[in-house]
Amino acid sequence: MTKPEQHRVDGLRKLMKAEGVTALLVTKRENVRYLTGFTGSAGSVLVAAGRPWLITDFRYKLQAARETSDVRVLIQKKDFPAALREAAQRAGVENLWFDETHVTIDSIRKLRKQGLRPKEYRDLVGELRQRKDARELRHIREAVLRAEDSFRQLKKYIRPGARERDLAFMLEFLMRERGARKAAFDTIIASGRNGAMPHASTTDRRIRQGDLVTFDFGAEADGYFSDITRTYCVGRPSPRQREIHALVQAAQEAAIGCVRSGMACKALDAVARDIIRDAGHGEHFGHGTGHGIGLMVHEGPSLSPLSRDRVAEDMVFTVEPGVYVPGWGGVRIEDMVLVTNRGVKTLTSLPRELEGLKNL
Closest residue by Cα to residue 218 from 162, 156, 172: 172
Asked if 185 and 172 touch (Cβ cutoff 8 Å), the reply is: no
Tell me which CATH homologous superfamily contains domain 3-129.
Creatinase/prolidase N-terminal domain (3.40.350.10)
Tell the burial category of 42 from Cβ atoms under 10 Å away from its Cβ (0-12, 13-18, 19+): middle
**Element (H or E) spanning 253, and its range?**
helix 239-257
Cβ 200 vs Cβ 175: under 8 Å:
no
pLDDT for residue 2 is more than 60 = no
| Of 110, 48, 105, nearest in space to 83 by CA | 110
Q: Per-residue pLDDT tens for 287-314?
A: 999 999 999 999 999 999 999 999 999 9
pLDDT in tens, 247-265: 999 999 999 999 999 999 9
Rounded to an integer, the average pLDDT of 316-321 is 98
State the pLDDT at residue 1: 52
For residues 46 and 92, give the distance between their C-alpha atoms in angstroms, rounded to a whole number: 12
CB atoms < 10 A from the CB of 347, how many? 21
Summarised one tens digit per residue, pLDDT across range 29-70 is 999 999 999 999 999 999 998 999 999 999 999 999 999 988
> Residue 129 burial by CB count (10 A; 0-12/13-18/19+): exposed, middle or buried?
buried
Handedness of CA 290, 294, 298, 300 (dihedral sign): negative
pTM (two decimals): 0.93
Taking the domains of the chain in order of start, what are their residue ranges? 3-129, 134-357
Superfamily of domain 134-357: Creatinase/methionine aminopeptidase superfamily (3.90.230.10)
Q: Under 8 Å CB-to-CB from 317, ≥6 apart: which residues?
A: 290, 291, 292, 293, 301, 303, 336, 337, 339
Cα torsion at 166, 168, 171, 175 (round to 10°)? -130
To the nearest whole percent, how much of the chain has pLDDT over 70?
A: 98
How far apart are alpha carbons 26 and 15 in whole angstroms? 14
Cβ-based neighbours of 185, under 8 Å, separated by 6 or more: 218, 225, 227, 297
Residues in the chain: 360
Is residue 332 within 8 Å of 320, Cβ to Cβ?
A: yes
What is the average pLDDT score of the chain? 94
